[in-house]
Structure 1
Amino acid sequence: MDITIHRPGELTQSLRRAWHQAMDESPEYANPFLAPEFAIGVGRHRGGVRVAVLRDAGEPVGFLPYERNPLGVGRAVGLGLSGCQALVHRPGVTWDAQELLRACGTSIFEFDHLVAEQRPFAGHVTGTFASPVIDVKPGDGGYPEWLRATYPGLAKTTLEKERRLGRDIGDLRFEWDERDPAALRTLMRWKSAQYRRTGRMDRFARPWIADLVDHLFHVRDDHFTGVLSVLYAGDRPVAAHFGPRSSTVLAAWFTAYDPDLHYCSPGLMMRLRTAESAARGGVTHVDLGRGDKEYKDWLKTRELRVGEGFVTRAHPVAAAHRMWRRPVRGLRNTVLAHARLREPADRLLRKVGTLRAARRTDGIREE
């Protein structure tokens, strides 16, 4: 197997077509986070992004996007943002993990949402986790009929809340593919406030992430399109979602809503309307992403499995990185896996968020 390394911006049209072909030939690689457009987008803002191209008899048959730091520490491209990771390849292709790392100039490759079918990496997986999905198909009628048929337990209360919102604010209108950049900025503002309110790291406080989302918003391709969906009450946006879609898969990514309207569950309304409209747009399933959330249990039709772990070579940098990262991951996974630990942790983070908000209100600058 011949392996060459490329910067994302150096990928030729023929290489991108071969990558798209590999996505089309294997349903497990249809996720938009596995498309070259996502790697190219991250590469615009992260200098260490590279793509390993595997060739058999001169023909490109596999693609691994990754990030590499100056010490040779490698990780899946967009680690922490990407909801799906893999070496995308044509059916029947195999590779040697150690040979791959040597070609990439890395002593370790870290991943946390690895597609389960990556057999050459299987021995390096330290844990597997559920990634819920919604299998969707278009209904014969409109949104209310689809909702009653698909989620009869949620339909009555959701439709009642939607009618209340319509009475309080204005008639509801849903835009599946909103092209107004101002709506994207509103979503980012809501999401930043939510991160701070719940004590989480504000991703949009990092300029490169905000710039990446803005870039992906403008990408329009059969295998990758940045889709911004917005629910309006009258002319007022009340909830929004931004995520990438491929020809068949929509990845749930950033959802947020106007916190003043929390009593109407606008986030749930947003997810339901997005799923219904995705089906009408040709999507076959919505990937909700790894993680235990109540709304995922309500909405999912099945679960995929994703893995996390480290592919390593015998090298001191690899050993040091794994020793540093694995305990952190283990603690986080333990908390997330047990409700008796997760709920107190959520309360603590919300308390931190409240204190941060109070400090800002009092005019105290946070260091």
Structure 2
Amino acid sequence: MNFYSSDAYLEALAATWFPGRRCQVGLFAAEGKLFRLVDVEGHGPMLTDGPRPGSYHFLDYFEHLEGAGGPGGARSIRWLPRVALEVREIQGPSLEEAPHSASVAVAPYVDWSRFRDWAAFQAHVVSRRGNLARDSKRRQRNLEKALGRLRYEWDDRRPAVFDLAVAWKRSQYVRSNLRDELAILQNVQMFRELWRRGLLVISSLSAGERLVAAHLGVVWQRRFSYWVPAYDRGALSFSPGRLLLEYMLAESQARCHSQFEFLLGDEQYKYHYATHRRLVGNLGTQPLSESLRKGARAMVKRTLSLHPPSLEKARTLQNRWAARLGHAAL
């Protein structure tokens, strides 16, 4: 069971999006498999899909319960989005064959049982990208020359680190012409609630007196989730985000975690480190209303993509409305 199926996460999610409402974590059955979801009074089970109000971008994916018996007593649901469907080993340094369909995403991870020590993992990384370790050492030396000695913290409790991580990530969304997920008030509140409950691990990298990278993550049942990486764009030439990631990988192995999960997304850098990837997709029959809504959104996106200035304006307006309303408007 991953973190997104835990009472700790689901209760924090419900408390953030539906404050004051009664909620209960329970068993739900889809396609003969059991899942843990949170059911909110007057709303129903909180699922993951779509940017409409009431959907939850940072709920990464569900895993079914192993060895939980049959679905007796569980509520039946016809459709569950973002479910881990299968695991595949990564065979080489390049991206593997495309997933089964456009509706299937990937979530790479490191299986630490494959490596007896840090040196063995470093050899694995060299096999994926031969110059990566040398390049990281060079950038670290240059960063220390420019700004001062590096200081890494696995769990940095300073409030300013949380605030900077959120601000940097929001800037990255805007630069990348993506919807600003952290303009959605509930998303930031959810991370604060997880931090308040002692669940959020905020890692940081400083050079001299200057914070240059930060990360919001979580450890659950010996699995570390690499969740929200952020960095100071002013230090971009030194790759501070990568340097922090590599410190965190070493710490994760030293803490005897079973996995270092990169979560959803097949960005190339993840394949420099990952050993496996999960295929994540929908389970069951998607409701017609959801299919129509997704189709309409895809058509609008395709049309706007032919006119980049219009797409940029649409994104800007969407982010403004999201910030004003406290949720994604489209």
Alignment TM-score, normalising by the size of structure 2: 0.73
- Whether 2:64 is the aligned partner of 1:93: answer no
Letter aligned with residue 324 of structure 1: R
* Percentage of matched positions with identical amino acids: 20
**Secondary structure at the counterpart of residue 104 of structure 2:** strand
1:18-167 equivalences under 5 Å are 29=1, 31-47=2-18, 50-53=24-27, 64-66=36-38, 75-76=47-48, 79-87=56-64, 89-91=65-67, 93-95=69-71, 100-101=76-77, 109-112=79-82, 114-116=83-85, 127-136=103-112, 148-152=122-126, 153=130, 154-167=132-145
What is residue 273 of structure 1 aligned with on the other side?
Answer: 247
- Structure 1 outlier segments of 4+, above 4 Å: 66-74, 96-99, 137-141, 145-148, 309-312, 326-332, 347-351
Structure-2 change in CA distance of 1:74 and 1:253 (3 Å)? closer
Q: After superposition, what is the alpha-carbon deviation per residue over 1:182-234, rounded to whole angstroms, capped at 9, x for unaligned?
A: 211110111111111212111221211111111112333xxxx3111101111
1:1-367 equivalences under 5 Å are 29=1, 31-47=2-18, 50-53=24-27, 64-66=36-38, 75-76=47-48, 79-87=56-64, 89-91=65-67, 93-95=69-71, 100-101=76-77, 109-112=79-82, 114-116=83-85, 127-136=103-112, 148-152=122-126, 153=130, 154-220=132-198, 225-311=199-285, 318-325=287-294, 328=297, 348=308, 352=312
Judge conservation of contact 1:179–1:228 (CA < 8 Å) in 2.
yes
Letter aligned with residue 183 of structure 1: V
- Whole-angstrom distance in 2 between the partners of 1:134 and 1:91: 24
Judge conservation of contact 1:239–1:267 (CA < 8 Å) in 2.
yes
- Whole-angstrom distance in 1 between the partners of 2:186 and 2:43: 22
Deviation at 1:164, TM superposition (A): 0.4
Structure with more of its chain in helix, by fraction: 1
Deviation at 1:300, TM superposition (A): 1.5
Deviation at 1:320, TM superposition (A): 2.2
Judge conservation of contact 2:35–2:62 (CA < 8 Å) in 1.
no
- Whole-angstrom distance in 2 between the partners of 1:51 and 1:35: 9
Structure-2 change in CA distance of 1:295 and 1:251 (3 Å)? same
Structure-2 change in CA distance of 1:162 and 1:212 (3 Å)? same
CA RMSD of aligned residues (A): 3.9
Judge conservation of contact 1:126–1:308 (CA < 8 Å) in 2.
no
Choose 1 or 2 for highest CA Rg.
1
Unaligned runs of 5+ in 2: 50-54, 87-100, 321-328
Deviation at 1:96, TM superposition (A): 7.8
Letter aligned with residue 45 of structure 1: T
- Whole-angstrom distance in 1 between the partners of 2:288 and 2:117: 56
Q: After superposition, what is the alpha-carbon deviation per residue over 1:112-169, rounded to whole angstroms, capped at 9, x for unaligned?
A: 2x0226xxxxxxx99433211122378867xxx6874442321001110001001100
How many residue pairs get aligned? The number is 286
Unaligned runs of 5+ in 1: 1-28, 56-60, 102-107, 118-124, 313-317, 336-343, 361-366
Letter aligned with residue 282 of structure 1: C
Which structure would you say has the larger RCO, counting Cα contacts within 8 Å and 6 or more residues apart?
2
